[in-house]
Structures are given as C-alpha cells and as structure tokens.
C-alpha cells in the first residue's frame, strides 16, 4: 500500500512538473517573442555578423531606414515616438531587454533611434544657424569662430555623417538629461541598465570623460548601443570613410581641424572599440 501511494505521488509529481515547465515555456515565448521577426532575426544574426560588409553610404547614414530591408518599425509600446526604426537584430535584443526590465518594474522607452544623414543635418544646422539654442545661447550670433562653434555643438550632437544614430544600432532611452538619471526613477533605470544591459548586447559608448576616454562627446547615460553589430560598424568606418566624406552641411569645413573621425567616431568607451 505504502509503495503504491509513493509510486502514485511520484507519477503525479512528474506530470505536475512537466505541466509547469510546459506552461512556463509557452508563457516565456509569449513574453519574449512579441513579433514575428524575432525568430528570423535571431537565427540570422550569426551569419549576418560573419558576412556584414557595410557600404560607405550606410556608414554615413545616407539611406532611408523606412525602406531598408534590415530595418523594422519600433512598436508603439517601446517608444515615445511614431514612425521610428531600428535594425532588426538590435530591436530583437532590445525587446528582450525591455521585457526583462519590465519584470523588475523598470520601464525602458526609446526616445530616439535611427536618424539618417538628412535628419542629423537638420539638427546640426539648426544649432549652427542659431534656430535652436545650445545651453541657452544663439551660437550664430554669440560664437563667431567656426571651430569653436562646432566644438560647442559637438559636446552632445554629431556632425552629419558621423553619428552612431545613422547605423540603426543605437538608441536613446527615457531622457536626454544627465540630471534625470541621478535620482528617482532615472537613477533606478540607469542602475538597472549598467547592471543588465550587457546581457542583451547593449553598452554605453559615451561614458564619463577622463584619462580612459579623453576625447569625444560628453557622457550620455541615455545612449546605448547594440554592440554585436556596432562594433563591426566602428571597425569598418575608418577603413572606408575619410574626412573628405564629411561634407554637405553648414560648418563641414571644421571636420578636418577637429579630426572628427579620430576624436568623435572613435572617441568612445574602450569596451565599444573593435
């Protein structure tokens, strides 16, 4: 009798465990695979990484992400913007990171993603012309020296053709001010990202300036890059793009003196260099 009961308990226990595993798998699948591009992009990632060869036009952001086959529109659940795009591989990884963060009460919203050459040109020229103030200053009237004017814009904004946002691998999360991440929700979100983002392939390229990172943009706690792909882009950029290619916008003549490829495109955290 005792043996029969023990056997029954073992059999029932076995089926209960199997049921729990089955339910968990189905449930996890529902959470982590919210789009039909997920499985496709995951299986393609390895072969993509092995064969990626980016054109100069791609590296300079001279394409339309809305029609590019490697890009996908970001779901409204993940972004505060409409009609914004990311590379499929970077987005699949982001969705996994988003889901993991949600489970711990952290909400990650993409506030900026892919910006091509022409949209970066609009941002840059608005600052250059004084239509958009920089630190409360109209640079067109207050900073006559072109090198100095470019240097001020370059604290936080890239010259068209040199932005990591061209590549579809980089995103800005939740807020564009450093102070936001120093307390409250912002602090919690930044701490979660620094502890966990790397598990999903995401890294902060613009870390604090100092001996380790002497050149480039100021620290941006909001800017994260999908490193499995952006590392390849950073490697190919100086092989294919020269300073002469950084042209076609107001103030482009300062690119050479400021050596923007060496100091800004490559002026990133060492962990993000190839």
Binding site for Zn ion (CB under 5 A): 172, 223
Nearer to Zn ion, 78 or 223 (CB): 223
Which position's Cβ is nearest Zn ion? 223
Nearer to Zn ion, 121 or 223 (CB): 223
**Could you tell me where the DSSP H helices lie in 76-172?**
88-103, 117-129, 139-142, 146-153
**CA-to-CA dists, residue 173 to 98, 105, 135, 259, angstroms:** 11, 15, 21, 28
Nearer to Zn ion, 223 or 231 (CB): 223
Nearer to Zn ion, 118 or 257 (CB): 118
Cα–Cα distance measured from residue 148 to residue 136, given in angstroms and rounded to the nearest whole number: 16
Contact by Cβ (8 Å): 115, 61: yes
Cα–Cα distance measured from residue 86 to residue 166, given in angstroms and rounded to the nearest whole number: 10
Cα–Cα distance measured from residue 92 to residue 34, given in angstroms and rounded to the nearest whole number: 9
In the complex, minimum distance from the CB of residue 170 to Zn ion, in angstroms, rounded to a whole number: 6
Q: How many CB atoms lie within 10 A of CB 91?
A: 27
Question: In the numeric block, which tokens belong to residue 260?
Answer: 């923007």
In the complex, minimum distance from the CB of residue 217 to Zn ion, in angstroms, rounded to a whole number: 9
Element spanning 76, H or E: none
Nearer to Zn ion, 98 or 217 (CB): 217
In the complex, minimum distance from the CB of residue 166 to Zn ion, in angstroms, rounded to a whole number: 11
In the complex, minimum distance from the CB of residue 165 to Zn ion, in angstroms, rounded to a whole number: 6
In the complex, minimum distance from the CB of residue 104 to Zn ion, in angstroms, rounded to a whole number: 24
**Could you tell me where the DSSP H helices lie in 176-257?**
184-196, 227-240
């Amino acid at each position: 009798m005792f043996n029969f009961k023990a056997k029954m308990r073992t059999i029932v226990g076995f089926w209960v465990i199997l049921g729990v595993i089955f339910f968990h798998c189905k449930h996890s699948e529902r959470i982590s695979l919210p789009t039909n591009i997920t499985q496709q992009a995951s299986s393609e990632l390895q072969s993509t990484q092995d064969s990626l060869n980016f054109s100069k036009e791609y590296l300079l952001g001279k394409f339309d992400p809305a029609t590019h086959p490697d890009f996908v529109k970001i779901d409204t659940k993940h972004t505060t913007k409409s009609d914004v795009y990311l590379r499929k591989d970077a987005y699949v990884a982001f969705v996994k990171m988003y889901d993991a963060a949600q489970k711990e009460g952290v909400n990650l919203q993409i506030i900026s993603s892919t910006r091509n050459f022409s949209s970066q040109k609009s941002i840059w020229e608005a600052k250059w012309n004084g239509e958009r103030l920089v630190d409360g200053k109209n640079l067109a009237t207050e900073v006559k020296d072109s090198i100095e004017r470019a240097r001020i814009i370059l604290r936080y904004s890239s010259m068209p053709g040199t932005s990591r946002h061209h590549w579809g691998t980089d995103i800005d999360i939740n807020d564009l001010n450093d102070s936001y991440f120093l307390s409250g929700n912002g602090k919690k979100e930044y701490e979660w990202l620094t502890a966990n983002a790397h598990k999903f392939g995401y890294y902060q390229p613009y870390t604090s300036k100092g001996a380790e990172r002497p050149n480039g943009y100021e620290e941006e706690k909001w800017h994260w890059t999908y490193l499995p792909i952006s590392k390849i882009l950073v490697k190919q950029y100086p092989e294919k793009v020269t300073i002469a290619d950084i042209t076609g916008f107001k103030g482009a003549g300062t690119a050479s003196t400021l050596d923007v490829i060496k100091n800004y495109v490559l002026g990133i955290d060492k962990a993000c260099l190839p």
